[in-house]
Amino acid sequence: MNKPYVIGIAGGSGSGKTFFLRCFLEHFSTDEVCLVSQDDYYFPVAHNMTAEENKLYNFDLPATIDHEHFERDIEDLLNYKSITKQEYTFNNPHATPKTLEIKPAPILIVEGLFILHFRKIADVLDLRVFIDADEEVALQRRLKRDLIERGYSNEDVLYKWVNHVVPAYKEYLLPYKSECQKIITNNSHVAADIICVTEGIAKELRQNVL
């Protein structure tokens, strides 16, 4: 059996990775593609924190990710073994974590902020995709998401943005942009723009991989 074709999708917070992935996955069946997300590999420290401690804790550092577990699970999927993983809920008391079962497929998507920084992961990627967005656009998306999904206040989001998010993006992601074969600017709020881009990539994969 051939090794799965591995696509790495990286982008800063608020770049629109989630929407891009949702559009991209629409072009494939669950038997054709599987997805593993860096966000589910945070060390589980936040659940013991007060709100103030959570505000100050910097999640935007590679050291907050259990990258060895992340790498092992990717290795299992490359060897066509299923994995089971507890979803990470970002200390949101209103969210109930799900148990995720990820089954292998001919196309494996790995997504996250540090996937290019973790060189063992970067080395297995056949296609690197960089999702880019202007800083102000990205910040507005982050404010909306963290208020609704993670229960953070605007003050908390702005603190993290200035002190954690932007410095981490510049240090751990931006230097690898030149390594990516596809760089997608995602400033638009028009779904059709991203759908068109994902259609093009999906067509290439159907011609060359599946």
Superfamily of domain 5-208: P-loop containing nucleotide triphosphate hydrolases (3.40.50.300)
The mean per-residue pLDDT over the stretch 153-176 comes to 92
The pLDDT of residue 91: 58
Confidence of residue 19 (pLDDT cuts 50, 70, 90): confident
Sheet holding 182-185, edge to edge: 33-37, 107-111, 5-11, 127-132, 182-185
Confidence of residue 171 (pLDDT cuts 50, 70, 90): very high
What is the chain's mean pLDDT, rounded?
A: 88
Amino acid occupying residue 77 = L
Neighbours of 88 (CB within 10 A): 20
How far, in Å, CA of 137 to CA of 106, rounded? 34
pLDDT at 93 > cutoff 60: no
How far, in Å, CA of 163 to CA of 90, rounded? 18
The pLDDT of residue 166: 94
The per-residue b/e assignment along 24-49, b for 16 or more CB within 10 angstroms, e otherwise, is bbebbeeebbbbbbbbbbbeeebeee
Cβ atoms of 14 and 142 within 8 Å: the answer is yes
The mean per-residue pLDDT over the stretch 184-199 comes to 84
C-alpha dist (Å) from residue 104 to 26, 76, 174, 208: 17, 8, 30, 19
**What does pTM read for this prediction?**
0.87
Confidence of residue 48 (pLDDT cuts 50, 70, 90): low
Higher pLDDT, 8 or 57: 8
State the residue for tokens 């966000």: 39
